[in-house]
Amino acid sequence: MKLVIEASEAVALGAKLSRVKVCPMYPITPSTHIPERISDYIFDGEMDAEMIHVESEHSAASAMIGSILTGSRSFTATSSNGFELMYEILPILSGMRLPAVMAIANRAVAAPINIWNDHSDSMSARDQGWIQLYVESSQECVDTIIQCYKIAEDKKVLLPAMMCLDGFTLTHVFENVDLPAQKKVDSFLPSFKIEDKLDVKNPKTFGPIGFPDSFMELKKQQQDSMLNALEVIEKANKDYAKEFGRSYGDGLVELFEMADAEYAILALGTICGTAKAKARDLRSRGKKVGVIKLRCFRPFPVESLRKAAKSLKGLAVLDRHISLGAEGPVFTEINSTLPKIKVFGYIAGLGGRDVTLDHIEGVFKDLEKGKQSREWLL
């Protein structure tokens, strides 16, 4: 079915198609339209699920622990400081190996108060054991929510996953979406089954203390599973392409005009659309430029990135977040991953600041000159 819908509705439809059963929700701008649409589906009888109206985002994340342990596929959505309020529960969900899925409508973290987009919320949680996938379009929202469940629930993984979409820049934008048929989604994504769950006939302990003689081993298991997720993400993307005819690069990175590129920009989310438009323009003027869209930030796809960048003379990384006192976190990762390539790091689009075609052209000019003119794209 082809629709023109808001990206927030695309996220909600992805959850509906995934046959989510429990949705603990506490709305916060700009993620509010996601629970609104889900509540419509439930009220209208289109979605067989329960929405839990909790008293805070901390409660929303906490409720997912209980709902998943009863064997219910669960979903929530949040943004910014609401996401920060969940922070205590994020490593608990991961450490308990619960395949929760959450949509983050990326928004700047206060103060000062700002309701517009950057990646300071989700990037701040990059070390808490959650898979992180960043999307560029409404279509990718639908497809990625479905894939998130396929990935998180895989026995080789069993870790929570967040899908990150740019607040307002994407959440409130209407785009064409080819909605998958429910029957095909059911074929791709089997019903949720969890081996270890709350059962009075077979009692188990969940969330016990980890003593010094076992804590590190348990953390290593999480790390091993996160690394396993690289292969599982690639397979989910490949299998999705077979079933629905759409894929996003290799599932980890997506390349644009990179076959003979000498210089490239790497970014996440909607900045990639602007970068692609300028790369297309520069290509028409004979410049060998391209774009690397980093779709998966955690686990970090080292080999895919090395393969994508192996022939480049220079690469620019555009971060929509800054690790204060250091640099952009994506730049830090890329710089250590690609030591043989000249890598420039730029801070861009904080608090909803536009990243323009002129900004992108200026970055490509820096790469060609081999000299970075500035760090902040103001």
Grade residue 135 by pLDDT with cuts at 50, 70 and 90.
very high
The per-residue pLDDT for 366 is: 98
- Of 244, 265, 283, the one marking the end of a domain is 244
Shared-domain flag, residues 185 and 64: yes
Grade residue 308 by pLDDT with cuts at 50, 70 and 90.
very high
Shared-domain flag, residues 52 and 164: yes
Shared-domain flag, residues 178 and 283: no
Query: pLDDT, tens digit, for every residue of 27-57?
Result: 999 999 999 999 999 999 999 999 999 999 9
- Chain-centre distance of CA 152, in angstroms? 13
* The token pair that represents 369 in the structure block: 């000159």
Shared-domain flag, residues 214 and 290: no
Is 78 within 8 Å of 26 (Cβ atoms)?
yes
Rounded to the nearest 5°, which phi and psi values hold at 198? -70, 120
Q: Is 225 a domain residue? A: yes
The per-residue pLDDT for 166 is: 98
- Chain-centre distance of CA 22, in angstroms? 21
Q: What is the CATH number of the domain that holds 169?
A: 3.40.50.970
Share of the chain above pLDDT 90, in %: 99
Query: pLDDT, tens digit, for every residue of 207-222?
Result: 899 999 999 999 999 9
Q: Is 375 a domain residue? A: no
Q: Is 374 a domain residue? A: no
Shared-domain flag, residues 232 and 269: no
Q: Is 75 a domain residue? A: yes
Closest CA to 149 of 113, 195, 105, 103: 103
Shared-domain flag, residues 219 and 341: no
What mean pLDDT value characterizes the chain?
A: 97
The per-residue pLDDT for 356 is: 98
* The token pair that represents 374 in the structure block: 């500035």
Q: Is 139 a domain residue? A: yes
Residues sharing a CB contact under 8 Å with residue 252, sequence separation 6 or more, in sequence order? 230, 233, 234, 295, 296, 301, 304
The per-residue pLDDT for 322 is: 98
* CA 77 – CA 99 distance, rounded (Å): 15
* CA 119 – CA 165 distance, rounded (Å): 9
CA distances from 83 to 12, 25, 88, 105, 303 (A): 18, 12, 10, 10, 30
Domain count, the chain: 2
Q: What is the mean pLDDT of residues 234-263?
A: 98
Shared-domain flag, residues 302 and 200: no
Shared-domain flag, residues 59 and 166: yes
Rounded to the nearest 5°, which phi and psi values hold at 333? -65, -45
Q: What is the CATH number of the domain that holds 347?
A: 3.40.50.920
Grade residue 373 by pLDDT with cuts at 50, 70 and 90.
very high
CA distances from 177 to 3, 5, 242, 270, 302 (A): 5, 7, 18, 16, 31
Q: 215-244 and 138-152 are packed helices; what angle lies between their axes, rounded to 10 degrees?
A: 130
CA distances from 63 to 50, 66, 74, 116 (A): 12, 5, 9, 28
Compute how many other C-beta atoms are within 10 angstroms of the C-beta atom of residue 224: 11
- Cis status of the peptide bond prior to 203, with omega within 30 of 0: no
Helix (H) or strand (E) holding 368: helix 357-369
The per-residue pLDDT for 148 is: 98
* The token pair that represents 128 in the structure block: 């808490």
Is 141 within 8 Å of 115 (Cβ atoms)?
no
Shared-domain flag, residues 154 and 56: yes
pTM, entire model: 0.97
Q: Is 265 a domain residue? A: yes
Is 89 within 8 Å of 65 (Cβ atoms)?
yes
Shared-domain flag, residues 44 and 135: yes
Q: What is the mean pLDDT of residues 359-378?
A: 97
**What is the extent of the structural domain holding 323?**
253-369
Is 38 within 8 Å of 49 (Cβ atoms)?
yes
The per-residue pLDDT for 189 is: 98
Positive or negative, the Cα torsion across 89, 94, 96, 98?
A: positive
Shared-domain flag, residues 227 and 289: no
Q: Is 376 a domain residue? A: no
Query: pLDDT, tens digit, for every residue of 274-287?
Result: 999 999 999 999 99
Q: Is 377 a domain residue? A: no
What would the 3-class secondary structure string for 120-189 be? HHHHCCCCCCCEEEECCCHHHHHHHHHHHHHHHCCCCCCCCEEEEEECCCCCCCEEEEECCCHHHHHHHC
- Of 203, 226, 244, the one marking the end of a domain is 244
Shared-domain flag, residues 230 and 335: no
- Of 226, 244, 262, the one marking the end of a domain is 244
Closest CA to 364 of 248, 280, 254, 253: 280
